[in-house]
Structure 1
C-alpha cells in the first residue's frame, strides 16, 4: 500500500530536512509547520508550500527573494508564532 502524507506532514518533513542541511542562506523555518486556513501559507515561516519545496535547490538569490516575500507576507498578515 502506498502512503501519501498529508500536507502538514510533508511540510514538516521538508522543513526538518532543510534545517539540518548546510545552507549559505538559512531557512526561515521556526518549527511551527502549520498551514493557514486557506491551506497555502505556513503560519510559522510565512512561505507557501511551493517556496518551501523550492528552498533546498534554490540559488542564494532566489532564497533571498523568498525571504523578502515571506517577510512582506508576514507584515500584511500578522506576526510569527514562536515555537
Structure 2
C-alpha cells in the first residue's frame, strides 16, 4: 500500500497564539482550524489556506496595533 503524502499546511513553525486574536501569528489559523486541521479534507484545508493572505493582513495590523497600545 502506498502511503499518502502529508497534508499541506501553512505552518511555518512560528507558533504563538495571541490570546486576544485567538489566532496563531505564524500561520494565522484560528485555534479551531489548528485543532481540526488533521481531520479536514484537502479541499477544506485549501479553502482555509486561500483565505490566509487577506486574514494575515487584517490580523497583523490588529496584532501590532494592540502592541502599540500597551
TM-score over 0.5 for the pair: yes
Query: Which of these two proteins has the greater Rg computed from alpha carbons?
Result: 2
TM score, norm. by length of structure 1: 0.59
Gaps of 5+ in 1: 1-20
Q: 1 or 2, which has the higher strand percentage?
A: 2
Q: 1 or 2, which has the higher helix percentage?
A: 2
Of 29, 35, 41, the match for 1:59: 41
Pairwise CA distance, 1:33: 0.8
Q: Tell me the matched-pair count.
A: 57
Moved over 4 A (4+): none
TM score, norm. by length of structure 2: 0.68
8 Å contact from structure 2 (residues 21, 59) kept in 1: no
